Amino acid sequence: MSMQNIRAFMPRQDLIAFLVLAVVIFIAMPLAMDIFRLNLVGKYLTYAFVAVGLVLCWGYGGILSLGQGVFFGLGGYCMAMFLKLESSTPEATAIQSTPGIPDFMDWNQITEIPWFWEPFHSLPLALIAVLIVPTIFAYIIGVAMFKRRVGGVYFAIITQAVASILTILIIGQQGYTGGVNGITDLRTLLGWDIRSDSAKYVLYFVNGILLFACLLFAQYVRKSKLGRILLAMREREDRVRFTGYDVSNFKIFVFCLGAAFSAIGGAMFTLQVGFMSPSFVGIVPSIEMVIFCAVGGRMSIIGAVYGTLVVNWAKTSFSESFPELWLFAMGALFIGVVMAFPSGLAGLYRNHVGPFIEKSYKRLRLSYENYRKPDNLVTSD
Amino acid sequence: MNAQTAANNEDFVLSVEGLTVSFDGFKAVNDLSFYVEENEIRVIIGPNGAGKTTVLDLICGKTQATEGSIKFRGKELTKMSEHAIVHAGIGRKFQNPSIYEDLTVFENLEISFPRGHSVFGALVFKRDAEVIAAVEEVAETIFLSEDLNKTAGLLSHGQKQWLEIGMLLIQKPDLLMLDEPVAGMSVAERKQTAELLNRITKGRSVVVIEHDMQFVEDIAHRVTVMHQGKVLSEGSMERVKNDPKVIEVYLGH
Ligand SMILES: Nc1ncnc2c1ncn2[C@@H]1O[C@H](COP(=O)(O)OP(=O)(O)O)[C@@H](O)[C@H]1O
Ligand SMILES: [Mg+2]
In a domain, B187, yes or no: no
Q: Is the dihedral of CA B98, B100, B106, B110 positive or negative?
A: negative
B132 in A contact zone (CB under 8 Å): no
User: Can you give the pLDDT of all 381 residues of chain A as single tens digits?
Assistant: 577 788 889 998 899 999 999 999 999 999 999 999 999 999 999 999 999 999 999 999 999 999 999 999 999 999 999 999 999 999 989 898 999 999 999 999 999 999 999 999 999 999 999 999 999 999 999 999 999 999 889 999 999 999 999 999 999 999 999 999 999 999 999 999 999 999 999 999 999 999 999 999 999 999 999 999 999 999 999 999 999 999 999 999 999 999 999 999 999 999 999 999 999 999 999 999 999 999 999 999 999 999 999 999 988 888 778 878 888 888 888 888 888 888 888 888 888 887 887 788 888 888 888 877 755 554 444
What number of other Cβ atoms are within 10 A of residue B18's Cβ? 12
From the list A282, A283, A59, A5, the residue with the least C-alpha distance to A170 is A282
In a domain, A18, yes or no: yes
Q: pLDDT at position B199, please?
A: 86
**For residue B93, which ligand has an atom nearest its CA?**
2
What number of other Cβ atoms are within 10 A of residue A263's Cβ? 32
ipTM, 2 dp: 0.91
Q: Which residues of A touch B (CB under 8 A)?
A: 8, 220-221, 224-226, 228-229, 231-232, 235-236, 238-246, 249-250, 253
B200-217: pLDDT as tens digits: 888 899 999 998 888 888
Assess whether B164 and B216 both reside in one domain. Answer: no
Q: Is the dihedral of CA A134, A135, A139, A140 positive or negative?
A: negative
Q: pLDDT at position A340, please?
A: 85
Put simply, the answer to whether B101 touches A249 (Cβ < 8 Å) is no
Count how many domains chain B has. Answer: 2
Q: pLDDT at position A320, please?
A: 79
Q: pLDDT at position B83, please?
A: 94
Residue B83 domain boundaries: 1-88+207-253
In eight-state DSSP terms, residue A367 is: H
Assess whether B155 and B79 both reside in one domain. Answer: no
Q: How far is the CA of B28 from the centre of ligand 1 (A)?
A: 6
In a domain, A370, yes or no: no
Assess whether B107 and B51 both reside in one domain. Answer: no
Of B27, B29, B53, B253, the residue with max ligand 1 atoms within 8 A of its CB, to mutate for a pocket test, comes to B53
Residue A69 domain boundaries: 3-312
Assess whether B48 and B81 both reside in one domain. Answer: yes
Q: How many CB pairs under 8 A join A and B?
A: 78
Residue minimizing CA distance to atom 6 of ligand 1: B23
From the list A130, A121, A76, the residue with the least C-alpha distance to A272 is A76
Assess whether B56 and B98 both reside in one domain. Answer: no
Assess whether B45 and B20 both reside in one domain. Answer: yes
Q: How far is the CA of B53 from the centre of ligand 2 (A)?
A: 4
Assess whether B105 and B151 both reside in one domain. Answer: yes
Residue B6 banded pLDDT, cuts 50, 70, 90: very low
Show the ligand 1 pocket: residues with CB < 6 angstroms: B 23, 28, 46, 48-54
In a domain, A75, yes or no: yes
B113-164: pLDDT as tens digits: 999 999 999 999 999 999 999 999 999 999 999 999 999 999 999 999 999 9
How far CA A357 is from CA of A300, A346, B119, B218, in Å, comes to: 19, 14, 38, 57
Shortest CA distance from B107: residue in chain A: A228
Contact A174, A108 (CB under 8 A): yes
Average pLDDT along chain B: 90
Q: pLDDT at position A326, please?
A: 83
Residue B9 banded pLDDT, cuts 50, 70, 90: low
In a domain, A335, yes or no: no
From the list A119, A136, A301, the residue with the least C-alpha distance to A222 is A301
Percent of chain B at pLDDT > 90 equals 71
B167 in A contact zone (CB under 8 Å): yes
The helix or strand, by DSSP H or E, that contains position A189, with its residue range, turns out to be: strand A188-189
In a domain, B182, yes or no: no
In a domain, A26, yes or no: yes
B33-44: pLDDT as tens digits: 999 999 899 999
In a domain, B34, yes or no: yes
Please provide the DSSP assignment of B148-160 as one string: TTSBGGGS-HHHH
CATH code of the domain containing B82: 3.40.50.300
Residue minimizing CA distance to atom 3 of ligand 1: B23
From the list A304, A311, A232, the residue with the least C-alpha distance to A261 is A304
Give strand pairing partners of A183.
Answer: A276
Closest-CA distance of chain A to residue B88, Å: 9
In a domain, B106, yes or no: yes
A46-81: pLDDT as tens digits: 999 999 999 999 999 999 999 999 999 999 999 999
Closest-CA distance of chain B to residue A63, Å: 17
From the list B121, B197, B132, the residue with the least C-alpha distance to B166 is B197
Put simply, the answer to whether B100 touches A249 (Cβ < 8 Å) is no
Count how many domains chain A has. Answer: 1
Question: Nearest Cβ partner of A242 from B60, B101, B103?
Answer: B60
**How far is B45 from A262, CA to CA, in rounded Å?**
53
In a domain, A354, yes or no: no
Residues whose CB falls within 8 Å of the CB of residue A147, separated by 6 or more in sequence, listed in order: A248
In a domain, B189, yes or no: no
- Higher pLDDT pick, B5 / A91: A91
Q: pLDDT at position B5, please?
A: 45
Please provide the DSSP assignment of A260-302 as one string: HHHHHHHHHHHHHHS-B-GGGTSHHHHHHHHHHHHHH-TT-HH
Assess whether B120 and B55 both reside in one domain. Answer: no
What number of other Cβ atoms are within 10 A of residue A298's Cβ? 28
Put simply, the answer to whether A224 touches B125 (Cβ < 8 Å) is yes
**How far is A57 from A260, CA to CA, in rounded Å?**
12
Q: pLDDT at position A304, please?
A: 96
Contact B216, B52 (CB under 8 A): no
Contact B178, B208 (CB under 8 A): yes
Residues of B in contact with A221 (CB under 8 A): 123
In a domain, B177, yes or no: no
**How far is A13 from A9, CA to CA, in rounded Å?**
11
Assess whether B81 and B34 both reside in one domain. Answer: yes
Contact B14, B205 (CB under 8 A): yes
Assess whether B56 and B129 both reside in one domain. Answer: no
In a domain, A258, yes or no: yes
Residues whose CB falls within 8 Å of the CB of residue A375, separated by 6 or more in sequence, listed in order: none
In a domain, A185, yes or no: yes
In a domain, B199, yes or no: no
Q: pLDDT at position A332, please?
A: 87
